[in-house]
Amino acid sequence: MKVQDYYKTPVSVPKLVVEKEKKPKKVKKTKPLSEWKSKEWRALLNDKQFKDEGGRWIIVDVKYDPSEKLYWAVYTKIGAKNIKKNREFTPILELLEDKKVVWSGGLDVKKYARAIK
């Protein structure tokens, strides 16, 4: 037997396989509605459509007014360009509580209105 053969690993010995530990996935906690900020309201309401006596509208943004402490829905008529002169503003709470407003896409209006009050 040669010295070189002595240091070779035999074929029958399995190689040790080390598996990396899997990190647990982070679970995002959902904020209570009472703690929602513009980011959450925008994610919920952006591109939502509603209908009232003035026509059909689409929400294009949500803004917060610190002087009045209100969240405002910024919307335009469906089909109109989203430019400053075509935009209208209404407090979100007013839109949610208005009985004449019909939301498309099934929005739980009462739940969100209670959260803003």
Phi, psi of 33 (to 5 degrees): -60, -30
Look at residue 89 and give its three-state secondary structure.
strand
Could you tell me which of 20, 40, 44 has the C-alpha nearest to residue 29? 40
Which run of H or E residues covers position 23?
none
pTM of the complete model:
0.70
| Distance separating the N- and C-terminal Cα atoms of the chain | 89
- Cα–Cα dist 34/77, whole Å: 29
Would you state the structure tokens that stand for residue 4, as one six-digit string?
A: 């070189």
pLDDT in tens, 54-73: 899 999 999 999 999 999 99
pLDDT at 116 over 60: yes
pLDDT for 10 equals 58
pLDDT of 64 reads 94
Could you tell me the residue ranges of all domains in the chain?
33-116
Q: Do the Cβ atoms of 116 and 40 come closer than 8 Å?
A: no
pLDDT of residue 14: 65
User: In this model, does residue 26 exceed pLDDT 80?
Assistant: no
